[in-house]
Amino acid sequence: MKPRIALSVLFALIAAAAFAADVAPAPSAAQKSFDQLKSLAGEWEGIATVPDAPEMSGAKMHLSLRVTSRGNALVHEMQEAGTPLDATKYDHPVTMFYVDGDQLTLIHYCDAGNRPRMTGKMSPDGKTIDFEFKDISGNMDYHMHHSVFTIIDANHHTEDWTFMMKDKPMHAHMDLTRKN
């Protein structure tokens, strides 16, 4: 091969390799699910329904979802609407979402003093993300065990949480509307 042709081939291969390096790989299923959750960033309010404890139903809830850590984490804070952020008197659980390898992961910093970890999968229609219990740090007698986020549209979503009270599940459903 003549030197000029060899040099041209070499430059073409280098250019092709550089172009390939600039093309980002398609996002994983976990990343797609996480990106869908990040679309919920903002302030939300709605009513909680707790069929297993009717006395708890009807509470107005306030939720804040905030993207942080250069887009690598989502903070979810929950409290009864109108209550101050006083952890000595009121529940104020915090949940963190992030992608860990090929899994969408949730860690719930529970008012029960433990940290259950769950992994999530998005439904084929892209509207529901279902989180299954994986493991826990701390006491397992009372812990959050399951969670489902359903995105209705940009201004409306629901959250379903299952809390284990020893071996008895307690379900809570929140129908939430965007406040900003």
pLDDT digits (tens, 9 = 90+) for 103-149: 999 999 999 999 999 999 999 999 999 999 999 999 999 999 999 99
- Residues 160, 146: Cα–Cα separation, whole Å: 8
Mean pLDDT (whole number) for 47-63? 93
Residue type, 75: V
- Residues 58, 97: Cα–Cα separation, whole Å: 27
Report if residue 19 sits inside a domain. Answer: no
pLDDT band with cut points at 50, 70 and 90 for residue 82? confident
Name the more confident of 167 and 21.
Answer: 167
Report if residue 14 sits inside a domain. Answer: no
pLDDT band with cut points at 50, 70 and 90 for residue 4? low
For Cα atoms 128, 98, 75, give the angle at the middle one, nearest 5 degrees: 85
Report if residue 16 sits inside a domain. Answer: no
Report if residue 12 sits inside a domain. Answer: no
CB 129 within 8 A of CB 146: no
Cβ-based neighbours of 77, under 8 Å, separated by 6 or more? 63, 64, 65, 66, 92, 93, 94, 95
CB 86 within 8 A of CB 95: no
Report if residue 6 sits inside a domain. Answer: no
pLDDT exceeds cutoff 90 at 20 = no
- Domain containing residue 166: 27-178
pLDDT exceeds cutoff 70 at 179 = yes
Q: Where are the beta strands (DSSP E) in the chain?
A: 42-49, 60-68, 73-80, 94-100, 103-109, 115-122, 128-137, 142-153, 156-165, 168-178
pLDDT exceeds cutoff 90 at 7 = no
Report if residue 146 sits inside a domain. Answer: yes
Query: What CATH number is attached to the domain comprising 96?
Result: 2.40.128.20
Cα-based torsion angle of the residue sequence 26, 119, 152, 57 in order, rounded to the nearest 10 degrees: -170
Q: Sign of the C-alpha dihedral, residues 121, 117, 162, 40?
A: negative
Structural domains of the chain, count: 1
Query: How far is residue 102 from each of residues 29, 60, 82, 117, 160, measured CA to CA in Å?
Result: 8, 35, 38, 15, 24
Report if residue 9 sits inside a domain. Answer: no
Report if residue 20 sits inside a domain. Answer: no
Specify the DSSP element, H or E, that contains 32: helix 29-38
Backbone angles phi, psi at 12, to 5 degrees: -65, -40
pLDDT in tens, 91-112: 889 999 999 999 999 999 999 9
Mean pLDDT (whole number) for 45-62? 94
